[in-house]
Structure 1
């Protein structure tokens, strides 16, 4: 039992001392092979549940963070960080949902050109990274999100990104887009009816 307790303490210490979230292999490298890292993480997660700080997993990496419901207690007067432009927010969303994605693909989805500065801002924030070149004419550079993106937005993985129904429910979709989708849907239904008449 003492060995297990020492292992849990070692994992706890490694996570507290780390500058960034750690994966299982990172933790094992700190605490040694004799420690059951998964069991220690499960015990620590239970121990910190409901406390002022909690152990969370983001993108297969673990770290301690302040409990979300205490954010208002810890908020102090501070300089407001510059908000992202609409172009940057749209670009970040496209990269998150379609990664890896090239600049041309981002522009095709948005319907407008993006300035180089838009992607630079996202890279400076640590949310976007180059993801290699596509095997296509011109070998365009592609972009993807980072571990910091998942951590900042509280996502365990990209699978936790909201789906279309979630976005509609939250009122985050442009009403013009929703109206267009309805019109397209009605057009498809009419086409099906006409096809059905010909078959009859």
Structure 2
């Protein structure tokens, strides 16, 4: 009898109520929230993972969407309604070409060491460039390589994924998709390869603008 009473004390709320709890937590959070954080805030016995599945379906086709960002979850404006936010005043500054290329290499080749970044770019990478990207919270240190010297690696952050509306780095668009979206110039710069070459040397500055 005592055992039954103890179990009833920790009986989880109905799934519909769990959905409401997850919804409330995510709406009130400025940053994406992990499942572990959700479980820590919700009553004992709740299943935030299942609640997220139901909640995501419920928001399909709505003005906001429930998105997975890395290992966390957040509500974001539906992609097709982004134009409604264009009236917001945002001061932007463009990253240097070195920063753009470094960020792109980290995003597409992570985890990657500084030496590997320099090998891909063909030129050295200044400490200031990497420090700038770390300060912007778009890249961070990854695990050290189990090679001589144990060099540190770099990976993109959840802030980077969130900025570009990506669930993970595997969702990064290809070159043709970037051109179709207007994020890359179709006309190569004067010093770029001639048509027919395979080098991807277009100016990607517009893609990697950061908010000041």
| CA distance in 1: counterparts of 2:96 and 2:30, whole angstroms | 29
Residue 52 of structure 1 corresponds to 63
Matches within 5 A, 1:91-102: 91-102=102-113
Of structures 1 and 2, the one with the larger relative CO (CA 8 A, separation 6+) is 2
User: For residues 177 and 27 of structure 1, do their structure 2 counterparts lie closer, same or farther at Cα, with a shift above 3 Å needed?
Assistant: farther
**Conservation of the 8 A alpha-carbon contact between 1:14 and 1:31:** no
Q: Does 1:162 align with 2:179?
A: no
**Conservation of the 8 A alpha-carbon contact between 1:11 and 1:27:** yes
- The alignment covers a number of residue pairs equal to 181
| CA distance in 1: counterparts of 2:30 and 2:107, whole angstroms | 24
Encode CA deviations 1:125-174: one digit per residue, 9 max, x unaligned: 11100114333333322211111111111111122123466568779596
Which protein has the larger Cα radius of gyration, Structure 1 or Structure 2? 1
Residue 197 of structure 1 corresponds to none
Query: 1:58 Cα deviation (Å)?
Result: 1.8
Structure 2 stretches lacking a partner, 5+ long: 1-12, 200-212
Encode CA deviations 1:109-130: one digit per residue, 9 max, x unaligned: 0011122111112111111001
Residue 109 of structure 1 corresponds to 120
Q: Does 1:148 align with 2:159?
A: yes
Residue 186 of structure 1 corresponds to none
Structure 1 stretches lacking a partner, 5+ long: 183-200
| CA distance in 2: counterparts of 1:115 and 1:102, whole angstroms | 13
- TM-score, normalised via structure 1 length: 0.77
Residue 80 of structure 1 corresponds to 91
User: For residues 156 and 177 of structure 1, do their structure 2 counterparts lie closer, same or farther at Cα, with a shift above 3 Å needed?
Assistant: farther
Note the aligned Cα RMSD (angstroms): 2.7
User: For residues 79 and 12 of structure 1, do their structure 2 counterparts lie closer, same or farther at Cα, with a shift above 3 Å needed?
Assistant: closer
Q: Does 1:176 align with 2:193?
A: yes
Higher helix share: 1
| CA distance in 2: counterparts of 1:122 and 1:116, whole angstroms | 10
Q: Does 1:31 align with 2:42?
A: yes
Matches within 5 A, 1:14-29: 14-29=25-40
Query: 1:30 Cα deviation (Å)?
Result: 1.3
Which of 148, 152, 165 in structure 2 is aligned with 1:137? 148
Which of 54, 65, 72 in structure 2 is aligned with 1:61? 72
Query: 1:75 Cα deviation (Å)?
Result: 2.4
| CA distance in 2: counterparts of 1:168 and 1:7, whole angstroms | 42
